[in-house]
Amino acid sequence: MASEAEIRLGRLVVERGLCTQAQVVAALNERNEDPAGPELGERLVAKGYFSAYVLAELRRVLERGADGSPLRPRHEASTERNISLGSAREAIARECLNEAKARLEDDRAAALQEIRRLAEEFDDTDSGAEARALLDELGAP
In this predicted model, what pLDDT tens digit does every residue of 61-84 receive, in sequence order? 888 765 445 445 444 444 444 445
**Among 17-31, 42-56, 62-76, 84-98, the least confident range:** 62-76
Say what angle helices 108-121 and 126-138 make with each other, to 10 degrees.
140
pLDDT, residue 84, reads: 53
Average pLDDT over residues 124-131: 86
Average pLDDT of the chain is 81
% pLDDT > 90, the chain: 20
| DSSP-based three-state secondary structure for 30 | helix
Which has more confidence, 36 or 72?
36
Please, is 27 exposed, middle or buried when counting C-beta atoms within 10 Å of its C-beta (0-12, 13-18, 19+)? buried
d(CA 9, CA 50): 13
Q: Residue 110's CB: how many other CB atoms inside 10 A?
A: 12
Say if residue 137's pLDDT is above 80: yes
- Model-level pTM greater than 0.75? no
Which has more confidence, 56 or 68?
56
pLDDT, residue 58, reads: 87
Say if residue 40's pLDDT is above 80: yes
